[in-house]
Structure 1
């Protein structure tokens, strides 16, 4: 499993966790009785969609995946304890920093889930360590891998930005004056920005770095001059005129061979595996029985 694959898996797990929370918190409401189950969560004309209908649909579509993910998380924790495997905070922080600077969807709303992201990163690294715990890779091979792939361990400086794009200079100057008087950048972005996708997020475009080709180089040049929370003067872009706000910054960092030696060992070992990296490898050892499995208990 390569780095990008790992980060995609982590992102998918976070989304799955959101479904888990929505689904099981809603299930918990059922304790209130039939009245809660018959509560309308939506109406179309005179017809209603009840909470119970919604929950049944959620279970049909996502129930198996959510339950499997919950089982996997418990299996990983149990097996890590059994084999006395731990992941350092430094390793988690390194992967989180890399994720921040490469995954486009790290907006201000999603960054609030930092604890969940780091929890998923830790579990993913624990799984990698479990799967490769018996694999020995020579120092020569480890060093060779590092020397050939140093760029993978260099985290570029990244800037968390929001922007407002309007068609004319007059509109941009008007927005700039309103911001100077204390207007909310995110509110103005939702109301005025013609870039619809980011406007819906209050102008938030996540983290960008100098390697990012989605936005003009002027974005980075402007961001470097801003203090956190400050916004720029209007400047010309292809769609019209833009104003930037610096939401935050991640400093660049290069990791040494010693910092990432164990990560490289896992990476080489995983690349040699012929089967997908999955917690299901340990299900039998953990004596898993589940509702969807052939070995489910009869009730």
Structure 2
């Protein structure tokens, strides 16, 4: 579905934002002949590194920056406004429905909110001339009611160890002020989350990856608190809750605009891209002629 692809686009834009910051901070640094790495007696200079980054990512990063400006300009020109409620609802859906697989990281929440606002504005601009009947929208709402009924979700981190002794030692160190993420990286036997400092993203009570005993403990925890040692098949788990996102069932009225855009995008059957708006906003760039998408 286009909306699922859009979540990946938003996640990709967050990564591009990070690359952009790294690239231009480095670009503005003095001493571009200094070495950023050495291999034996050979050195790789900052300028070598910047040139390679520009050749690999320059066009993509510039496209993303132009897209942001194009969407903002076209939105202002056409009087398109996206409410804070719509942005917050979309973020809530990403957290509860996509969790860690959606690429969401709480440390990037400000960037996520901005990218979501831009993405919703782009959807609105692309579909502004598409007519969708009330009957179609109500039918979509009824047939996809689960999509608008969000369950409680919990952002959790975890440490899995093999023995009760290891779990008790870990709890002791946490009580003494040790960092949960550091301990997870040092001793958790779950390789994937250990590399993330134990961060497992968002989970709900019907998650297939957790036993009901672990879910029960998660639901009892307040944000910032961790559990006692929880027995599971291969050892013991300690889980910590960062955030509890309360579930909600959205009414038809609350999601009517979202449904209209969704149906319109499906009818158009074209990529969700800002490129069609470039000519409207008179874009000129370093790479010459603009290719239509």
TM-score, with length taken from structure 2: 0.93
Q: Deviations over 1:168-218 (max 9, x none)?
A: 121112212222333322222122212222222221111111233233333
RMSD between aligned residues: 1.9
Structure 2: distance between partners of 1:107 and 1:196: 18
- In structure 2, the residue matched to 1:112 is 107
Matches within 5 A, 1:215-230: 215-230=210-225
* Worse overlay, 88-97 or 271-280: 271-280
The answer to whether the 8 Å contact 2:33/2:47 transfers is yes
- In structure 2, the residue matched to 1:84 is 79
Q: Which runs of 5+ in 1 are unaligned?
A: none
Q: 1:126 aligns with which of 92, 117, 121?
A: 121
- In structure 1, the residue matched to 2:165 is 170
CA distance 1:207–1:270, change in 2 (3 Å):
same
The answer to whether the 8 Å contact 1:107/1:207 transfers is no
CA distance 1:295–1:124, change in 2 (3 Å):
closer
Task: Report how far residue 49 of structure 1 moved.
Answer: 1.5
Q: 1:135 aligns with which of 115, 121, 130?
A: 130
- In structure 2, the residue matched to 1:54 is 49
The reply to whether residue 279 of structure 1 matches residue 271 of structure 2 is no
- In structure 2, the residue matched to 1:4 is 4
CA distance 1:43–1:106, change in 2 (3 Å):
farther
Structure 1: distance between partners of 2:135 and 2:253: 13
Q: Which runs of 5+ in 2 are unaligned?
A: none
The reply to whether residue 208 of structure 1 matches residue 203 of structure 2 is yes
- In structure 2, the residue matched to 1:255 is 250
CA distance 1:136–1:289, change in 2 (3 Å):
same
- In structure 2, the residue matched to 1:193 is 188
Structure 2: distance between partners of 1:114 and 1:100: 11
Task: Report how far residue 106 of structure 1 moved.
Answer: 7.4
- In structure 1, the residue matched to 2:65 is 70
User: How many residues get paired?
Assistant: 290
Structure 2: distance between partners of 1:73 and 1:148: 34
* Worse overlay, 183-192 or 253-262: 183-192
The reply to whether residue 103 of structure 1 matches residue 99 of structure 2 is yes
- In structure 1, the residue matched to 2:155 is 160
Q: Secondary structure at the match of 1:241?
A: strand
- In structure 2, the residue matched to 1:237 is 232
CA distance 1:214–1:57, change in 2 (3 Å):
farther
Structure 1: distance between partners of 2:102 and 2:286: 35
Q: Deviations over 1:92-112 (max 9, x none)?
A: 00001111222316789x312
TM-score, with length taken from structure 1: 0.91
* Worse overlay, 119-128 or 189-198: 189-198
